[in-house]
Structure 1
């Protein structure tokens, strides 16, 4: 797997479980995309540019899938997912030499859980999430888990 040497562009997302599906969060010039998943859970992909890039859309779709997988991982381990759990994903497009690659940086926020428990949930979610499975071994993915 190749690591990007020169990042050309990054698409950033912030995804949370949406406990108030009718709440408006976007301001002029930004878009909130309300997402749903099997089982009826709702997610919000918050405050992206009015004209999202491919990297933002990929990161948004991946983060919605991943946060759903995080909920499944928590239920399998009989752990209550914190109500303010969130996933930030940055998808980079860039070059190494003359070749082009994608890379991703995850920040998984699971406040109130012990660090080792949060890391175990985050890793299990990557094993469940179809987007994570699709890119596994194909792009460099860095993960930061924040439990405090």
Structure 2
């Protein structure tokens, strides 16, 4: 694959900072209280959730345009959970909640969400690696 764009960011652990190469992203990092931290910064799960939600919404727009369906009023909320996995390490799971406008309620909307899941780069990257649940609202 030839990259059309490459994002570059550097972090120095779960407690520190995350900074993009262009300086537009510059965030303090801290584990959430549920993981023993003080919650005084963002965390990798929040960053992943924001990226996945934005990417999936973009994919929904692409499949909507291909189907000549207006998806601009749709929104995507990504819930990223972290917990112990069966190996004793940590793993993540994702629930994508897609809120569709009234004209996309029902089977037609669910089909667009499924199509978006097939083309979204985050969905492709996670497929077979972590559980991803799609919820259409």
Task: Pick 1 or 2: higher relative contact order, CA cutoff 8 A, min separation 6.
Answer: 1
Rounded to whole Å, the distance in 2 between the matches of 1:105 and 1:68 is 17
Which protein has the bigger strand share?
1
Which protein has the bigger helix share?
2
RMSD: 1.8
SS class of match (2:68) = coil
Name structure 2 gaps, 5 residues minimum: 1-38
Equivalent residues of 1:82, 1:110 under 8 A apart: no
Kindly indicate whether residue 101 of structure 2 is the aligned counterpart of residue 123 of structure 1.
Answer: no
Name structure 1 gaps, 5 residues minimum: 1-48
Structure 2 length normalisation: TM-score? 0.66
Match of 1:76 in 2: 66
What is the deviation of 1:70? 0.4
Higher-Rg member (1/2): 2
Aligned length in residues: 98
Structure 1 length normalisation: TM-score? 0.61
Rounded to whole Å, the distance in 2 between the matches of 1:55 and 1:111 is 27
CA offset digits 1:113-148 (Å, max 9, x no partner): 1310111111111111111100001001111101xx
